[in-house]
Amino acid sequence: MSMHIGDSPEEAAFRAEVRAWLSQHAAPRSDDGGNWHDDLHAHSIACKKWQRVLFNNGWAGISWPKQFGGRGGSHLQESIFNEEQAKFETHTGLFAVSLGMVGPTLMAHGTPEQQEVFLPKMLSGEHVWCQLFSEPNAGSDLANVATRAIEDGDDFIVNGQKVWTSMGQFADYGILLTRTEPDAPKHKGITYFIVDMKTPGIEVRPLVQMTGVAHFNEVFLTDVRIPKANIVGGLHGGWAVANTTLTSERGFIGGGSSSWSVDELIDFARERGLDKDPVVRGKLAECYARAQTLTYLGYRLRTAASNRTMPGPEMFVMKLAYAQHWSRTMDVAMEIAGAHGMISGDAAGDAMHWQHNLLGQFAIRLGGGTNEVQQNIIGERGLGLPREPSVDRDQPWRSLAKG
């Protein structure tokens, strides 16, 4: 098959079909990138509504096998759909965890019953999922989770605290990492559960961020009872399952559609009378170059996803490049914004949009593992550097100092 960087005739036809359908079912994207930041609740309702439209029209889970209610299409088709969808005023963020992370994990590791019960309702938008992974002392070092799950008859009883649970306040189900064997080394005593968020003992507390909204939550678990049937990947076998979830997350964060584009930034510079400034032009060019690069890195990932199993360090490269691109572009945007860059609220106009994204950069830098975690993985997988000597890999988790 020869190299082809762009749509093949079949892909172009698919794209045209998608665009035609979208233009009938959604409004064109507004200038401010769909400024839904301010009202998460309204956003969540819009997401559910749109997911239902997708599902009813056969566009939900484009790359998912038909047996799970998907369209049975290719990853490439899904990417094309997402690209086109981003040009319309559509709301999708509520299902990022469900479709991007939980779905692939359950397809890979779930029992047939779990797949049958949960996957279709994920696609239809009936169930919203959240991720209960990070803890106050288990961030980059996720394998350090301390939330305890203790066997009790046909159930486990769970106690602990989770943080950075995106959209947790809207979730029906969660995927949950727990410690079930404290005397095993830390990677080997973890169990992965599906948990119904309405189970007694679960309290979700929103965390307000700099942007003024509470995208993330703390989740407290007190004597939460979960049936054994909800274990994914076997008792103490949760680490491998978590890795499937995380790999999906990194791909999502690296390749997700943005709330902004370099074209919009160029327009912004033009409105501010700076598009002829040679220094600003050079900076816009750098942003453009980075955006193009991400496009091609994305093309390469798609090719890999179509032709083979998931590649080595490419996904981590993409995620790092994306975080850099986001942060650099926002710096340029704030320079262009000038005094306007300091004002929030309606008075700020377009500048507000960029400020939101500036403040939002840390979710990109930190989600799916910090930049530093990615860099270490690239060092190992891309350059063959030895893993950083670890003092805690083989010791019982219980014996490690807790931070």
Partner 1 sequence: MNFDLSDEQQVISDLAAQIFSGQSTVERVIEVESGDGFDRTLWNELAKAGLLGLCLPEEHSGLNMNMVELALVLEQQGKTVASVPLWSTSIGSMAVAEYGSKDVRSSLLPAVVEGKNVVALALANYGANDVMNPSVTATDTDGGVKLSGGKPAVSFAQHASHVLVSAKRADDSIVLALVDLKAPGVTITPVEASNRQPTANIEFDVTVPATHIVAGLEGNGREALRWVHEHALVGLCALQLGISQGAIGIMSDHVKTRTQFNKPLSAQQAVAVRAADQFVTTEAIRVTTLNAAWRMSEGFDARQDVLVAMYWATEGGHSIVIACQHLHGGIGADISYPVHRYFLWGIQISTELGGASQHLSRLGKLIASR
Burial (CB < 10 A; 0-12, 13-18, 19+), residue 346, is exposed
| Residue 44 contacts which entry, partner 1, its own copies, none (Cβ below 5-8 A, type-dependent) | none
| SS3 state of residue 92 | coil
The window from 51-59, 150-158, 188-196, 378-386 that contacts partner 1 (CB under 8 A) reads 378-386
Nearer Cβ to its own copies (5/401): 401
Size of the site for partner 1 (CB under 8 A): 103
**Least distance between partner 1 and beta carbon 213 (Å):** 11
Of the residues 65, 196, 348, 396, which one makes contact with partner 1 according to CB under 8 A: 348
The window from 19-27, 33-41, 224-232, 315-323 that contacts partner 1 (CB under 8 A) reads 315-323
**Of 78, 84, 135, 249, which residue is the catalytic one?**
249
Binding track over 42-81 against partner 1, x by CB under 8 A: ----------------------------------x-----
Looking up tokens 């486990």 gives: 156
DSSP string of 95-138, one letter each residue? GHHIIIIIHHHHHHH--HHHHHHHHHHHHHTS--EEEE--BTTB
Q: What contacts 271, CB < 8 A, 6 or more positions away?
A: 350
162 beta partners: 219
Nearer Cβ to its own copies (279/339): 279
249 is catalytic: yes
Q: Phi and psi dihedrals of 278, rounded to 5?
A: -65, -35
Of the residues 278, 384, 386, 403, which one makes contact with its own copies according to CB under 8 A: 278
Q: Contact between 82 and partner 1 (CB under 8 A)?
A: no
Of the residues 212, 282, 312, 338, which one makes contact with its own copies according to CB under 8 A: 282
Q: Are strands 173-179 and 129-132 parallel, antiparallel or unpaired?
A: parallel
Query: From the CB of residue 13, how many other CB atoms can be counted at a distance below 10 Å?
Result: 11
* Separation CA 73–CA 387 (nearest Å): 38
Of the residues 279, 339, 347, 401, which one makes contact with its own copies according to CB under 8 A: 279
Q: Contact between 28 and its own copies (CB under 8 A)?
A: no
Q: Which residues are identified as catalytic?
A: 249
